[in-house]
Structure 1
Amino acid sequence: MFTGIIQSIGQLLSSEERGGDRRMVFHVGALALDDVRQGDSIAVAGVCLTALDLTEDSFAADVSRETLGLTTLGALEPGAPVNLEKALRLSDRLGGHLVSGHVDGLGRVIDIHGDARSQRWTFEVPATLARYIASKGSICIDGVSLTVNEVDGLHFGVNLIPHTQQVTTFAARRVGDAVNIEVDRMARYAERLIEFRAGETPAM
């Protein structure tokens, strides 16, 4: 589990195809790896990956075809910046919201405009994800925990304060860019509960 509070901006060093999957190597920037062991989890752009071949400032990860197809990782080129967060410990503060690192799908940036010192961003998501997004609820975008300001059909908006702009990869994002979206787990559980109460047979 993660919190959606980014700890460092890293960088993709290499991406090598291996039998349909990929071995990706990331430089971790300012992220300390002294407490990370082989097999631990690190969220990369909101995607939970297993850290392998650790060095003082980098790690490798094997990325499956499913993950490559469902997230933005498959389109990354060497040099691309990525948000990084180490897995949550039970003693850590929960500054954002509980994030699993299991991306639900892709959204797209459709508008960015200034609002005093902040920025207002609008995203578009598929209908299959839009149903789980609610005004004032939580959303995880590229690994960043954010509060939804408003929802309008397939569109939703968030506010980025200057700090968030500075310490995440949002500074490198542009209108039209794809982003990784993880909806709030509680919304999915609520839907599941409603299905059972309505007498629907759960899908197997």
Structure 2
Amino acid sequence: MPQPPGPDPRPLTGEPLALDLLNTRWIDGGGPHDLLDSVAGLAVWLDSAPVRTHLGLPDGVPAADRTTLDRLLYARAALDALAAPAARRDPAILDGATQLNEVLSHGRVRRELGPDGLPASVVETDAPSWGPAWYAAESWLSLVADRPDRIRPCANEACVLHFYDVSKNGTRRWCSMAGCGNRAKAKRHHARRSGI
């Protein structure tokens, strides 16, 4: 019987799927980390609560294999190229948009009438291995269509995490107040006390 994946080590989870994928890379006291540097890391990501909730694939979560990982890394590279311009409210970078559109070309939403007589949307991808990448790309489209100005990088220059600001006033600056926010407060406090 295969071993279940280990716990998700990332410092920020629970963001919309596109940003959750971007946040598979982070920096902490131990240096840079990349959850998707292996198929085992992919298994952890696929098993994480935000991903399982968002994917909702009829066939379940796709296999953690090299093909799925490569396609997901391609989508992450596209999102990475798009995230910085979105945060600055600049137009999308052509390469990022081209890559994201390539990912999106491997799936579609088909509308149908469900067995309960209500309209339903069914996602179809060329192969199950495209599912996670396609859903992440689709998530990006939803964020950009809704509130692109709420897609933000953490204000800590040493942090590479992103978040979707759902605060009422839209003033969130940190990936987490417990991490980067507290470090910034402590740094300001130290500077005031030291007279810097």
Same fold, TM-score > 0.5, yes or no = no
Please tell me the TM-score bracket, short chain as reference: under 0.3
Question: Which structure's residues are more often helix, by fraction?
Answer: 2
Question: Which structure's residues are more often strand, by fraction?
Answer: 1
Larger Rg over CA atoms:
2
